[in-house]
Amino acid sequence: MDRINNLKLNIQNRDACIAVIGLGYVGLPLVIRFSEEGFKTIGFDIDEDKVKKLNAGETYIKHIPEEKIAAVVKNGFKATSDFSQISNVDAIIICVPTPLGIHNEPDLSYIKNTLSSIKPYLKESQLLVLESTTYPGTTEEEIIPFIQTIKNSSLLPTRREGRQAKSSIENQKFTIGVNFYVGYSPEREDPGNKNYTTKTIPKVVSGYTKNCLELTKTLYDQIVDQTVPVSSPRVAEMTKILENIHRAVNIGLVNELKMVADKMDIDIYEVIKAAATKPFGFTPYYPGPGLGGHCIPIDPFYLTWKAKEVGMNTRFIELAGEINTGMPNYVVQKVGDALNAAGKSIKGSRILVLGLAYKKNVDDTRESPSLTIMEMLIKMGADVQYSDPYLPEAPKTRKFNFDLKSIDLTAENIKSFDALVLSTDHDSFDYKMIEKEAKLIIDTRGKINDSEKVIKA
């Protein structure tokens, strides 16, 4: 018990050193919170550009102000790609991506590569917490066996203690819950949300053993207002999946209703607004051009894949996925119909896409339907440009490589396009000017007032 008590005391006294691996939309806010609470923090990332920017006090995520980065650097934070420094920390939090493979199967390569990178530097009395979203069972099936195979070099005797002592324990391995600790705590970041922060969002925590849970809870108790302990990592992993499936299914439902309502000449946004006045039993969800972000378009497929392992089919979830994945096609069809009605075709038309980010007021384009819509329009022969105040240049991703820069949203520029596609409803867009100056607007977010030039999509 001395080991767990010492680590717990070090965490509570802010003497523990915290490592965060993966300095993106999840890892960077964690770094800031631990630093704000007085912890020594080290950030690890394989992207050298990120490392350099952070150490210079610069931000690369628009909704995270540069002053916060400068403050954590002043407090002693260091970013690095040198994983040997893992040997100097007490708690390790892994926040790396968990994308899908080409057949919508889980891709755990980032997690596995991270484990391989830190393996030589792990030592006894460390706490390892996975935050990456994944399928139920990942911690127990991937993390635990990996840790249990590592020879515990920190238990080896010194040279002075002689060969006999060394040979007696050189094959000792980590025992989870005794001399090494593993937890899982799913991230709940919502970039751009001003109402909830890393500190105020309740944090689900779990551990492989009772000791692991106690330490994981103690760690997050220092930086969030409320922790929510659950009985196992599987429960915590499933909790995160449920949260995002709940949204994906309801968004799929309202996207389907949008298409039905359109055929009936009913404004789905007016319907939702009216239904939302019911004070019980209804939660408003809003349609759009498709799902984006790293969670909602991906996480449901993690469960459908895992469900097949136990002989189950998740038909409801898969149907919602089909609807949401098909929404960019619906938008492009509406663009074509709108241009045809104006005596034009997509081929040869100048089309301006408003917003590349997957949701408003952020610079995150992961899985953004805007990128899919742009690619489809370009392949159909359109001259496509975009405007997004959060993204001065179109990002290069695994799927897309547009050589485009954001154009200024001026009256003159707007007039030069045959059609505008409102894909991301940033608050900074001047919607009155857009409505006034545009020749034709395909509105996927219900932001523009009804008029002859506005087509709901």
Please list the active-site residues. 295
Question: Helix, strand or coil for residue 197?
Answer: coil
Contact indicator for 179, 3 with CB cutoff of 8 Å:
yes
> Which residues does residue 46 pair with via DSSP β-bridges, in sequence order?
none
Sheet holding 17-21, edge to edge: 78-80, 40-44, 17-21, 91-94, 127-130, 181-184, 203-207, 227-229
**What is the spatial distance between Cα 384 and Cα 423, in angstroms, rounded to a whole number?**
13
SS3 content of the chain, % helix, strand, coil (to 5): 40, 15, 45
Residues 6+ positions from 106 with CB-CB distance below 8 Å: 98, 100, 134, 135, 301, 302, 305, 306
Residues 6+ positions from 93 with CB-CB distance below 8 Å: 18, 19, 20, 21, 27, 30, 129, 131
Closest-CA residue to 176 (of 204, 149, 203): 149
Backbone angles phi, psi at 387, to 5 degrees: -135, 125
Backbone angles phi, psi at 141, to 5 degrees: -95, -25
**Directed axis angle between helix 268-275 and helix 233-263, to 10°?**
130
Specify the DSSP element, H or E, that contains 455: strand 454-456
